[in-house]
């Protein structure tokens, strides 16, 4: 009986680069709805981190869909 080769399952979802760019954009837009303060800064930090990851080619190759 032939064995079935399956792709390894991951505990985390894998997104395309376009989805990450869109999520970053939406996070920045959402942050602008808050007045200056910690909640706004938190959302801006998330967007900034995503921007850093998008500039890292090695990370993109390992963690996004082709």
> If you ran DSSP here, which 8-state letter would residue 2 be given?
P
pLDDT for residue 64 is more than 80: yes
The pTM for the full model equals: 0.75
pLDDT for residue 1 is more than 80: no
DSSP helix/strand/coil, 34 = coil
Q: What is the pLDDT of residues 18-51, one digit of tens each?
A: 999 999 999 999 999 999 999 999 999 999 999 9
In the structure encoding, which two tokens stand for residue 37, read together?
A: 């303060």
pLDDT for residue 5 is more than 80: no
Q: Residues 33, 27: contact at Cβ < 8 Å?
A: no
Question: Sign (positive/negative) of CA torsion 38, 44, 48, 49?
Answer: positive
Torsion angle of C-alpha atoms 49, 51, 52, 57, degrees rounded to 10: 130
Give the range among 4-8, 11-15, 36-40, 58-62 with minimum mean pLDDT. Answer: 4-8
């Amino acid at each position: 009986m032939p064995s079935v080769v399956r792709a390894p399952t991951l505990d985390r979802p894998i997104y395309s680069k376009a989805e990450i760019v869109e999520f970053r954009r939406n996070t920045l837009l959402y942050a602008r709805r808050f007045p200056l303060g910690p909640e706004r800064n938190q959302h801006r930090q998330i967007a900034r981190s995503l921007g850093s990851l998008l500039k890292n080619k090695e990370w993109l190759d390992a963690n996004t869909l082709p």
